Amino acid sequence: MKKRQGDPFMPPDEYGRSLTGFMLNILVKDMDKAMEFHQQVLGVDVFYSDPDISIVSWQGHQWMIHSDHTYDKHAMYQHIQGVSTRGVGAEFRLHGRNPDEAEAQARKLGYTILVPTKDQPDHGLREAHIMDADGYIWVPDIPLE
C-alpha cells in the first residue's frame, strides 16, 4: 500500500534498469526515523525520499530504504512482521564517516551504541558500532593515523 502522493522521481522500472553492481535494500518500520538516523548519524546524501522509499548515498555508493508497507505483497512480508531486531549478524560499514561524530549524534538522538568509538589497531581503523531504530548495525570508521 503506497503512501506517496503523486509520481515518484522517475518511473520505478526505469530506475531499476539503471542500477548496476551491488546495492543494499533495507526494510524499515518508520521511514522518518530511518531518515533521521541516516542523515544525522551517518551523514549520508539523500538522492530521493518519500514515505515509501528513500535512496541515499555515501561516497558514491547508493542504497535504498523501503517502508515495510511497500512489501505487503512480497513473499518477505510475512517474515518481517513482528521482528523487533533486524539485520542480526550483518554490519553495514561506512568507511570514511568519522565514528566519534556519528557516535555523538547517535547518543544525542537516543540510538543504541553497541560498541563505543575506539581504535582497532588489528583493523587499522577507528570505529563505532551503532544500532539504528530497526536494529541494523552500522559501523562508521576512519583509518588510524
pLDDT, tens digit, for every residue of 112-140? 999 999 999 998 999 999 999 999 999 99
Q: Please state, in angstroms and as integers, the Cα–Cα distance from residue 39 to each residue in 14, 56, 105, following that order.
A: 26, 9, 10
Residue 65's SS3 state is strand
- Look at residue 67 in the predicted model and tell me its pLDDT: 93
Please compute, for residue 59, the number of CA atoms within 13 A of its CA located in the half-sphere on the CB side: 7
SS3 content of the chain, % helix, strand, coil (to 5): 25, 35, 40
- For residue 95, the cross-strand partners are 141
Among all chains, which residue has been given the C-alpha cell 509520481? 7
The pLDDT tens digits of the residues spanning 30-69 come to 999 999 999 999 999 999 999 999 999 999 999 999 999 9
**CATH 3.10.180.10 for domain 12-143:** yes
CA distances to 19, 65, 68, 106 from 113, in Å:
33, 21, 24, 8
